[in-house]
Amino acid sequence: MHRAIWVSIPSAILAIDQRLTSGRLTSGLGRFGTYVMYGRHPTVLIFFLLLLSVGEYMYLPGVWPRLSVLHKFFGGVSVVLPYLFLYLAAHGDPGVVDPASHARYMSHYPYDFALFHPGQTCRTCLLLKPPRSKHCAVCKRCVHKMDHHCVFINNCVGYGNQHWFVLLLLSTAALTLYGGVLGLGAVAAAARTQNPGFALWKPAGWSWREYLVLLTFGIQDDVGVGSVTLLALMTSPLVWGLLAYHVYLIYGGTTTNESMKWQDWQLEMDDGCAFRRALPADRPRDPQREAPWTRWPVDAAQILIRTEDGTPPASSAGPGVGEWERVWHLRDVENLYDLGFWDNLVDVFVPNYPFRQAAEAANADLERGKRRAKKASKAPRASSLLAAAT
């Protein structure tokens, strides 16, 4: 049976196609499958829009007349906001790195000499990679501060639209929770028409059979309200969990892409192949490889490299001063892009915020006032969460 399914039948189909179409049908289906799985197309985005709109079409006629004026106001706002933020996240520029934006993005962040090193060129875009950028294989372009490619918005999540994406998650999470709670009230009200003593929490003295019969009646009294309420209550924890994960990434001053890179570094450290040493503050910069000035208030104070066999690099290898020190834990490595939760939020929600000028205007010590080296890095914990999720 196994041989028939995986060998004989496919071979027969290929032979028939070769005879009838010279192999064009199977090759076309293969290209279509590759496009569906790995191409940029709006299929999931359309499905998400249909899920929202059809669910609201089934839900609102049965619930809206029962709502107070206050609930109608908040309900209307909660319905509109996901569409607004979905449009802004999907239609907005995620931070595409092209010749027009390259110089600006090069001056946003310094290279941390751990995840991002100067002098690396994208082999597809043929541009010097700005710090925190990544080439998206789906969109076929480099994106600044790349987090991930999201099929629900048919776009990358990056520096230019990360705030809209977080607000989309927040508004969708609030909509599903709010709609689920209001729907439960409608279900309970319908059940009370059969027994005024019904409550969503099973009343004492009631049998499970009596309770479930009335609950089922409440759900079936208006199938649209009942089914959408159940769907909202089941999906709400997923959306809230995704929102909490992205808030934690902001708290840690990292992204999904960078968390995966930190995870790779932990594997190198487990093998004893990661080393670090100090970078002098007055090190010379090659203007052909990195920006001479950035808006970020701190610069890299260390370099992290790996070796194949676990032996320390030569003293002359790479930039930096002093002896190479073996690193075993990510908590011993500074995350340059973590300025603290508040400043990390500002970086997400206030594009192009001039951190360095703000610190200089306040006469702050840039190295001591913003650097978080004394605290354990939060990026490793984000990568641990990612490893647990995958």
- Which residue numbers are catalytic? 150
E strand or H helix that includes residue 136: strand 134-136
Token readout for 9 is 């039948």
Query: Three-state SS for 16?
Result: helix
DSSP output for 196-250: TT--SSPPTT--HHHHHHHHHHHHHHTHHHHHHHHHHHHHHHHHHHHHHHHHHHH
Environment class of residue 331 by beta-carbon count within 10 Å: exposed (0-12), middle (13-18) or buried (19+)? middle
Q: Is 119 exposed, middle or buried (0-12, 13-18, 19+ CB in 10 A)?
A: exposed
Q: What is the DSSP letter of 335?
A: -
Q: Which residues, in sequence order, are CB contacts of 24 under 8 Å at separation 6+?
A: 17
CA-CA distance, 71 to 181, in Å (whole number)? 12
- Token digits of residue 263: 């995870």
Report the alpha-carbon distance of residue 219 to residue 215 in Å, rounded. 6
- Location of structure tokens 């790779």: 264
CA 343, 347, 349, 352 dihedral sign is positive
